[in-house]
């Protein structure tokens, strides 16, 4: 891998985005090299928030800044961002090595340095020896490791994880969170992670943004927000009060 990289601040300033009747309004900042967990009820706008940052959606108004640079109208591939989804991250007909290499060079024109970065990322996610396997010959957790390796070789300072581990069982999910934690310690990228599991935010000692109905209604350190003194709406979401 290409050494230590530093995360970038991610800021949404007065961003408005509508899907029909669903009106969303985001105003939030994630400082450089922090981990932010995005939680909230189904349909509250979590994936839309990440899609706006990644550039798969464009706001009706407002600005998205990454390290102070306005990226609101910039194409997804030109943003300093990588994204990992819950599934469908990999090309089924390509082996592990090629799937990862696509993150480095979409046309697969690889230099020796690129190949070294691909091998290093594969090693870092614990898949050395499985380079020639197709996704069908991997477990769900291994497939998500490939997706993370591909994000790593892109060498972008912001990593977006959209329920990336949701289809994995609890033990494997914890392993993946440990991997994210270790990668974050090494590379200090800024991470925004959508999850349905508030305990993931604790596991990563993350900042927490709680979304309801298209807006952030609570924010702060996960350990504080998820404690007894946290907001009532969050407790209702967690099922700890009715």
Q: Rounded to 5 degrees, what angle do the CA atoms 92, 96, 102 make?
A: 85
Specify the stretch interacting with ligand ATP by CB under 6 A; choose among 1-9, 14-22, 126-134, 178-186: 14-22
Q: Rounded to 5 degrees, what angle do the CA atoms 172, 34, 215 make?
A: 90
54 or 127: CB nearest ligand ATP:
54
Please, is 36 exposed, middle or buried when counting C-beta atoms within 10 Å of its C-beta (0-12, 13-18, 19+)? buried
Residues 6+ apart with CB under 8 A from 102: 91, 94, 108, 150
Copy the structure tokens of residue 117.
């970065």
127 or 237: CB nearest ligand ATP:
237
What's the min distance (Å) between Cβ of 59 and ligand ATP?
13
Among the residues of the chain, which ranges form H helices?
Answer: 46-54, 96-104, 112-124, 140-154, 170-187, 198-203, 222-225, 232-238
Is the sign of the CA dihedral 59, 61, 62, 65 positive or negative?
positive
**Range 171-210, binding ligand ATP (CB under 6 A):** none
Dihedral angle at the C-alpha atoms of 12, 71, 53, 204, nearest 10 degrees? -80
CB of 80 within 8 A of CB of 8? Answer: yes
19 or 91: CB nearest ligand ATP:
19
Instruction: Name which position in 6, 14, 19, 108 contacts ligand ATP (CB under 6 A).
Output: 19
95 or 162: CB nearest ligand ATP:
162
What is the pattern of x (binds ligand ATP, CB under 6 A) and - over residues 42-81? Answer: xxxxxxx---------------------------------
What's the min distance (Å) between Cβ of 194 and ligand ATP?
6
Specify the stretch interacting with ligand ATP by CB under 6 A; choose among 17-25, 70-78, 129-137, 177-185: 17-25
Q: How far apart are CA 111 and CA 142, in angstroms?
A: 26
Specify the stretch interacting with ligand ATP by CB under 6 A; choose among 6-14, 18-26, 77-85, 150-158: 18-26
What is the pattern of x (binds ligand ATP, CB under 6 A) and - over residues 27-46? Answer: -------------x-xxxxx
Which residues form the interface with ligand ATP (CB under 6 A)? 19-20, 22, 40, 42-48
């Amino acid at each position: 891998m290409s050494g230590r990289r530093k995360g970038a601040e991610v800021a949404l300033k007065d961003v408005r985005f509508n899907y029909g009747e669903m009106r969303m309004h985001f105003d939030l900042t994630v400082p450089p090299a922090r981990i932010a967990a995005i939680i909230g009820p189904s349909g509250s706008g979590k994936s839309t928030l990440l899609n706006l940052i990644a550039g798969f959606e464009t706001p009706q108004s407002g600005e998205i800044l990454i390290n102070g640079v306005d990226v609101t109208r910039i194409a997804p591939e030109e943003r300093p961002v990588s994204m990992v989804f819950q599934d469908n991250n990999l090309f089924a007909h390509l082996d592990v090595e090629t799937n990862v290499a696509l993150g480095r060079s979409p046309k697969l024109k690889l230099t020796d340095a690129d190949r070294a970065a691909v091998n290093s990322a594969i090693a870092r996610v614990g898949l050395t020896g499985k380079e020639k396997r197709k996704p069908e010959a991997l477990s769900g957790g291994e497939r998500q490791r490939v997706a993370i390796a591909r994000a790593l070789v892109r060498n972008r300072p912001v990593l977006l994880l959209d329920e990336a581990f949701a289809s994995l069982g609890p033990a494997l999910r914890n392993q993946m969170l440990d991997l994210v934690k270790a990668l974050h310690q090494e590379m200090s990228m800024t991470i925004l992670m959508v999850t349905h599991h508030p305990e993931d935010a604790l596991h990563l000692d993350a900042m927490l943004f709680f979304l309801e109905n298209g807006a952030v209604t609570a924010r702060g350190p996960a350990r504080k927000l998820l404690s007894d003194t946290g907001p009532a709406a969050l407790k209702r979401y967690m099922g700890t009060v009715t």
